[in-house]
Structure 1
């Protein structure tokens, strides 16, 4: 019964996604809904004009997150292919903190065994996706349903003459993009750059941050770790090389890291 609260368009899309054996999607404005964190999705719906009411924002966010259940590789043999334009990885929707967590989520999904995730870099001279975002749903009966979205309207296509054109286009876009392995490395690089910008924005300098030697450090051994806290981030560095590279972790990631640091 809860599903009837979702907007009709979302209900239809969720139903078709659940029936699909393969989902292919190209996005060049925002990250695909199946990849989005709650904070990222909320930021998108909050800037919609004319504005949604608070209740409508909650309804849209809840519906979007509910769709992500189909990503579970243990639930079915469904496979996914995403191609994201590089611009969607660099556009700081919701702010740098939200975007950092969002990129971590993209990496998490991209490592699932039933997902191929690719990035189409902005420096590519050939880009067959300039007409906009679209998705293809390949159903159990062999049919293909295509979706394309534009302001004020979304178009659903079932005519094989139209879906075949988009299927061919998607294949070309995939060939123009980085491979899945190269794409994960690329996203990790963008995440590192986002973390660097976050640290600069938070005033992370040796003069403004209090570094504390971790209780897991050894007195004279190689394990000399210092930690510091800035807004929404735990910084980790080697106390023997304070000017060297450092990790920037979310509080949740730091909590998960502690058992490994302590050897337990």
Structure 2
């Protein structure tokens, strides 16, 4: 039987590899087919939007969410990893807000209405919830004056909201990729082929979407496995006793 720790690290390495591929693919898509990057309120500035959102709202956020599941961290002070968790999420939030700035600035420059699509509504709701979640986590878990009772009440809500925000992040990025392809690959110009004709860009971006889904499933799988949950004080010895009891059952060698 493969040990739980070995199985976790296998899934964790898969998560890291998929996350890296997501960043590479979204960057290559916008560099190769969308013309590259700039920060001048042009179409090239818009290209930062998908890159920053996938990198921050999906990949960084997902890795921050599973940080407490890494067995390496269990034997160390939790306060240290709380700070790392908060810093990763703050970096994720910063990149996400920067991604919003890129698209709002682009829309303003070309007189395009903001927040008219379902994708934009879901995206804004995700960022608002993410901001509230981070501030509440800062007050509840890192503030020295936070009452213990409040932390106990907040903990399950914080964990549930974290998963909900991650799912919304996945939905937002996937809908954004699809919306971009539908808007740009309309087949009305000589420079673009219709989305339905399966041009190389469409296939590449669709595969990016599949990678994002795969990354999300691995993260959610890690979060849903109770064996990989960080043990609370006093639970570690209980787990060791249960493991020893299983190993000494009749028929086990």
| Higher-RCO chain (CA-CA 8 Å, sequence separation at least 6) | 2
- TM-score by structure 1 length? 0.27
Which one has a larger percent helix, Structure 1 or Structure 2? 2
- TM-score by structure 2 length? 0.27
Which one has a larger percent strand, Structure 1 or Structure 2? 1
